[in-house]
Amino acid sequence: MSTTLLTGIKTLVTNSPELGDAGSETDRLGIIHDAAVVLDGESVAWVGRAADAPAADSARDLEGGAVLPGFVESHSHMIFAGDRSEEFSARMQGKKYEAGGIRGTVAKTRAASAEELHCNYKNLLSESLRQGTTTVEVKSGYGQSTESELRSLQVAGRETDEVTLLAAHVAPPEFAGRTDDYVQMVVDEMVPTCAPYARWIDVFCEKGAFNEEQSRAVLTAGIKHGLTPRVHGNQLNPGPGVQLAVELGAASVDHVVHLSEADIDALAQSATVATVLPGADFSTRNPYPPARKLLDAGATVALGADCNPGTSFTTSMPFCIAIAVRDLHMSPDEAVWAATAGGAAALQREDVGVLRPGARADLSVLDAPNHLHLAYRPGVPLVSSVYSHGELVYRAAGVLNG
Ligand SMILES: N=CN[C@@H](CCC(=O)O)C(=O)O
Ligand SMILES: [Zn+2]
């Protein structure tokens, strides 16, 4: 296996406190200044101060940029067809977001071919990669029939191992007014058929989608078939999503906007990650989640982009970091941790979201001296190159004749 030495790193975020210059938990990001990284095949072989770097087969000078682990996007809905820009426009002019908007995407997704869905999905993945995302969780949820959900999972699985069955997104039109019957079908037919193609089971536990009892039935069926639960909870209203997620040992409960003190305590005392998705709150003009309270209470907070055609049609983790800092009152360090190690925690992964020997060699190089610039320079495309599995997979082109 050939080794590559990356040098000229002004600031390296390792997310491994013991490796950082401070050498302790006081710096959760484990920052090393004037650093170097050695990649060996798909893995990180060494990180440390450039002055101590071992020899390698080849070297690349990153010219004073910052390096951080590739972003871990733990919540996305990239398998869909169609466009809901008109719905977005109406919303920005006062129309309220409701879960029912999902049905428009369901009709288009059912009608699309697998190749069309794959092509849209690959474009979104490529867009997110260019912004530094190297691990993506992908949900079904716009098929809502056994055949169509299965197809979505199979398409998702072509590009990621983090595949989630979200059959219970909303009840489809043919089950209008019969949500219990749809849940029964999900439990009896969809989960058993689809489980071999997924790692996770998810449910939209929300008014207008699925109530507590229905959500519990779906998640329990998934667990019975070997899937690990995650929950869309407390997005649009207060509700039972958080408590249910904690009760069932979900890896993560996502959105977490409308939380009671008891919800915050439950999250702080559990291993369930609280994933904030501020792109959705931004694009629905809803309130933001109480991330500061969650962090101060001791909950583990992850940050995701929630790419989907209805509430958050963005793939940009840097954009979400900027909102998390500006409007959720997370510090820039907290937001960067949440978008990397936090996302990994939400996916129960230890090989990504960190840069230490043995970790997967997924990293982003910023055209900036440190990671703080991600929030400090909102909207600026700072990611200048990206490595995935040890390979340089993206390099920003310069201005021609400029
Ligand atoms: N909240 C539920 N699901 C998506 C929105 C889906 C849609 O509106 O198409 C979300 O995570 O925000
Ligand atoms: Zn979602």
Q: Which letter, b or e, does each residue of 276-293 get, where b requires 16 or more Cβ atoms within 10 Å of its Cβ?
A: bbbbbbbbbebebbbbee
Spatial distance between the Cα atoms of 46 and 355, rounded to a whole number of angstroms: 9
Question: Does the beta carbon of 280 lie inside 6 Å of ligand 1?
Answer: yes
Which string of DSSP letters, residue by residue, matches 111-178?
Answer: HS-HHHHHHHHHHHHHHHHHTTEEEE-EE--S--SHHHHHHHHHHHHTT-S-EEEEEESS--GGGTT-
Average pLDDT over residues 143-148: 98
Strand order in the sheet with 58-69: 43-49, 31-40, 3-13, 58-69, 363-366, 383-388, 391-395
Question: Does the beta carbon of 204 lie inside 6 Å of ligand 1?
Answer: yes
Question: Does the beta carbon of 234 lie inside 6 Å of ligand 1?
Answer: no
**Taking all residues of the chain, what is their mean pLDDT, rounded to a whole number?**
97
Spatial distance between the Cα atoms of 118 and 156, rounded to a whole number of angstroms: 8
Task: Report in angstroms the alpha-carbon separations of 60 from 57, 73, 359.
Answer: 11, 27, 20
Q: Is the pLDDT of residue 11 over 80?
A: yes
Question: Does the beta carbon of 235 lie inside 6 Å of ligand 1?
Answer: yes
Q: Which atom of ligand 1 is nearest to the CA of 235?
A: 1
Spatial distance between the Cα atoms of 166 and 109, rounded to a whole number of angstroms: 14
Per-residue pLDDT, 400: 85
H or E element at residue 394: strand 391-395
If pLDDT is split at 50, 70 and 90, which confidence band does 261 have?
A: very high
Q: Which residues pair with 4 in a beta bridge?
A: 39, 58
Domains of the chain, by residue range, sit at 3-70+353-395, 71-346
Spatial distance between the Cα atoms of 55 and 5, rounded to a whole number of angstroms: 7
Give the whole-number percent of the chain exceeding pLDDT 90.
95
Q: Which atom of ligand 1 is nearest to the CA of 101?
A: 8
Question: Does the beta carbon of 101 lie inside 6 Å of ligand 1?
Answer: yes
Per-residue pLDDT, 401: 76
Per-residue pLDDT, 40: 98
Q: Which letter, b or e, does each residue of 232-271 get, where b requires 16 or more Cβ atoms within 10 Å of its Cβ?
A: bbbbbeebbbbbbbbebebbbbbbbbbbeeebbebbbebe
Ligand having the closest approach to the CA of 278: 1
* 257 CA from centroid of ligand 2 (Å): 13
Q: Which atom of ligand 1 is nearest to the CA of 254?
A: 11
Annotated binding site for Fe(3+): 75, 77, 232, 306
For ligand 1, atom 10, the nearest C-alpha belongs to 311
Per-residue pLDDT, 298: 98
The correct CATH number of 71-346 out of 3.20.20.140, 1.10.150.120, 3.40.640.10, 3.90.550.10 is 3.20.20.140
Question: Does the beta carbon of 30 lie inside 6 Å of ligand 1?
Answer: no
H or E element at residue 295: helix 291-297
What CATH number is given for 3-70+353-395 in this structure?
A: 2.30.40.10
Mutational pocket test of ligand 1: of 235, 285, 308, 312, the residue with most ligand atoms within 8 Å of the beta carbon: 308
List pLDDT tens digits, range 281-302.
999 999 999 999 999 999 999 9
Q: Which atom of ligand 1 is nearest to the CA of 99?
A: 8
Per-residue pLDDT, 399: 83
For ligand 1, atom 7, the nearest C-alpha belongs to 310
For ligand 1, atom 11, the nearest C-alpha belongs to 306
Write the ipTM. Answer: 0.96
Per-residue pLDDT, 43: 98
Q: Which residues pair with 5 in a beta bridge?
A: 38, 59
Annotated binding site: 75, 77, 84, 142, 169, 232, 235, 306, 308, 310-311
Average pLDDT over residues 87-104: 88
List pLDDT tens digits, range 303-348.
999 999 999 999 999 999 999 999 999 999 999 999 999 999 999 9
Which string of DSSP letters, residue by residue, matches 41-68?
Answer: TTEEEEEEEGGGPPP-SEEEEEEEEEEE
List pLDDT tens digits, range 198-242.
999 999 999 999 999 999 999 999 999 999 999 999 999 999 999
Task: Report in angstroms the alpha-carbon separations of 326 from 157, 234, 308, 312, 370.
Answer: 35, 22, 23, 18, 18
* Residue 18 dihedral angles phi and psi, to the nearest 5°: -70, -20
Average pLDDT over residues 242-261: 98
* 138 CA from centroid of ligand 2 (Å): 10
Spatial distance between the Cα atoms of 171 and 12, rounded to a whole number of angstroms: 46
Spatial distance between the Cα atoms of 297 and 262, rounded to a whole number of angstroms: 11
Per-residue pLDDT, 25: 72
Q: Do domains 3-70+353-395 and 71-346 have the same CATH topology?
A: no
Q: Which atom of ligand 1 is nearest to the CA of 236?
A: 1
List pLDDT tens digits, range 369-388.
999 999 999 999 999 999 99
Per-residue pLDDT, 402: 62
Placement of tokens 């794959």 in the chain? 118
Per-residue pLDDT, 98: 77
Cα Rg for the chain, rounded, in angstroms?
A: 21
Q: Which residues pair with 366 in a beta bridge?
A: 66, 383
